[in-house]
Chains A and B, each alone.
Chain A
């Protein structure tokens, strides 16, 4: 079983809907990530939170809004998405602190379909 839990597993939403993806980890990690993965492609980094503060935003459109309420939770709020935003959204966490040997631990992902 994965130690990073993502909900929901599947989400279908219209372009005018507002929805949220949720991610939770209890490994004491202080870095959390959102990745987007299109079919047959590698994951692409969207956001990085370090100690609950947004540290990296990879020029993601504002219709994606991340939130880190505490050290264990990470949300991704979705609004006015486009069909091309349909993808697998992966959450991950890792230790933080200038070390490069900490693997990212991923959740099972949320398969998002925008209609």
Chain B
């Protein structure tokens, strides 16, 4: 079975500081992808960053970086220089190839609500 675990229901961070959102995953597949999405109160799910299971380097996209530790099955999101607009719900998600014999579907964690304080 595939599973994503986000253990932090809510996090606070001071503006301009860095914050790490935790994500651990469980899968028996060798090939999989890990994604982070941001969901503001408006509802849209915004794709932030992707890490492949065979990627040797951690993914980075602007102020977002993914701390990928394959042996520990963790894929934490690091947001540097937090901004007020970063306040939102953040979801970690996983997708595996050939899950159930077909292209894998996106499996979401329960999410972490990030609040940035001025």
Contact = CB atoms under 8 A, between A and B. Distances in A.
Contacts of A101: 33, 50, 52
B44 interface: yes
Interface stretch (B17-25, B67-75, B80-88, B94-102): B94-102
Category for how many chain A residues contact B: 20 to 34
Contacts of A81: none
Q: Is the interface of A mostly helix, strand, loop or mixed?
A: loop
A90 interface: yes
B45 interface: yes
Nearest to B36: A103
A42 B50 contact: no
B108 interface: yes
A96 B102 CA distance: 11
Contacts of B108: 42-43
Among A31, A55, A92, A106: residue with most chain B CB under 10 A: A106
A88 B43 contact: yes
Interface string A102-114: 0111111101000
B7 to A, nearest CB: 14
A92 B45 contact: yes
B96 A100 contact: yes
A45 interface: yes
B31 to A, nearest CB: 6
B52 A56 contact: no
Nearest to A90: B45
Q: Which 3 A-B pairs have the closest CB atoms?
A: A42-B108, A106-B45, A100-B33
6 contacts: A98-B103, A99-B97, A100-B103, A103-B35, A103-B50, A106-B45
